[in-house]
Amino acid sequence: MNSRRLAERLAGALNELAGEELVLAHHGSIAREQRLRIEDDLKSGRLRCVVATSSLELGIDMGSVDLVVQVGAPPSVASGLQRVGRAGHQVGEISTGVVFPTHQADLIHAAVAADRMVRGEIESLRVPANPLDVLAQQTVAAAALDTLDVETWFDVVRRSAPFAALPRSAYDATSLISGRSVAIWLWQIMHVLTLGIPATGPRSTVSWQSVHIACFAMWVLCGNASGCCAAGWRLKKSRAADATVRCAGV
């Protein structure tokens, strides 16, 4: 499947038709412990079918899988080959897969993808250099777990191939890290309004609380909760009715 929502819907529909739970959905939004349990059940043969997104394309020993059914045209030739390759994942075995288009226009994309899969015409790979939108998203994700030291985080980021040549100026210019951008200028104002204490920048650490305030400042700057930055921020209300910000991109 190409989306988590459709994976859940298809798994539920198959179980309803079977009258029992024969199928489970597998995607990135499922808790890690549950994903590992599903993978173990699939490899051992206790689970007959899994409806998965790209979460099962790489990284695990699939055991014995007879057939892969790709519902909807694969997002790329390389992705289609990787998914079909989950079947017959044994030495000397032949991988077998079926591409099942979901509508008329999808039939064209599915036919082209299947033809290129047979021919081995995989798309060329281009590694983006210094994608700052990705850096912002990863900073938010890391800050959600713990307070980050800016210098240490810079060293960690540069260990990744796309950021190996990341200049310090670009790193400092990223809104969630730099104290010189307009967003952080608003962050300083919101810091006073929400916490009652002044904030000085640039900061030596990045915390989830500061990310909340900085993202809310970016929302105020743009005037709406959509499209205000490359990472895509969404403003929500938490159960405690406190204003929080969640990253809507991945």
Q: What is the DSSP string of 76-95?
A: SHHHHHHHHTTTT-STT---
Give me the pLDDT at residue 99, please. Answer: 92
Give me the pLDDT at residue 207, please. Answer: 55
Q: How many residues does the chain have?
A: 250
Give me the pLDDT at residue 205, please. Answer: 54
Spatial contact of 69 and 23, defined as CB atoms under 8 Å apart: no
Rounded to 5 degrees, φ, ψ at 244 are -130, 165
- The domain over range 4-119 is classified in CATH as 1.25.40.10: no
Mean pLDDT of 64-91: 86
Q: 12-21, 82-91, 153-162: which range is least confident on average?
A: 82-91
Give me the pLDDT at residue 65, please. Answer: 81
Q: Where are the domains positioned within the chain?
A: 4-119, 132-247
pLDDT higher than threshold 80 for residue 130: yes
Q: 28-42, 53-67, 75-89, 208-222: which range is least confident on average?
A: 208-222
| Cα 229 to Cα 38, 188, 247, 249, distances in angstroms | 36, 18, 11, 10
Q: 50-54, 112-116, 176-180: which range is least confident on average?
A: 176-180
* Rounded (5°) CA angle 7-12-17: 130
pLDDT higher than threshold 80 for residue 247: no
Q: Looking up tokens 């798994």, which residue turns up?
A: 11
pLDDT higher than threshold 80 for residue 127: yes
User: How confident is residue 116, by pLDDT bands cut at 50, 70 and 90?
Assistant: very high
Give me the pLDDT at residue 180, please. Answer: 43
pLDDT higher than threshold 60 for residue 166: yes
**What is the bridge-based pairing of β-strands 49-52 and 68-71?**
unpaired
pTM of the full structure: 0.55
Tokens of 248: 């809507």
pLDDT higher than threshold 50 for residue 227: no
Mean pLDDT of 170-188: 59
**Angle between helices 132-145 and 208-222 in degrees, nearest 10:** 140
Cis before 202? omega within 30: yes
Give me the pLDDT at residue 179, please. Answer: 42
Spatial contact of 168 and 154, defined as CB atoms under 8 Å apart: yes
pLDDT higher than threshold 90 for residue 115: yes
User: How confident is residue 225, by pLDDT bands cut at 50, 70 and 90?
Assistant: very low
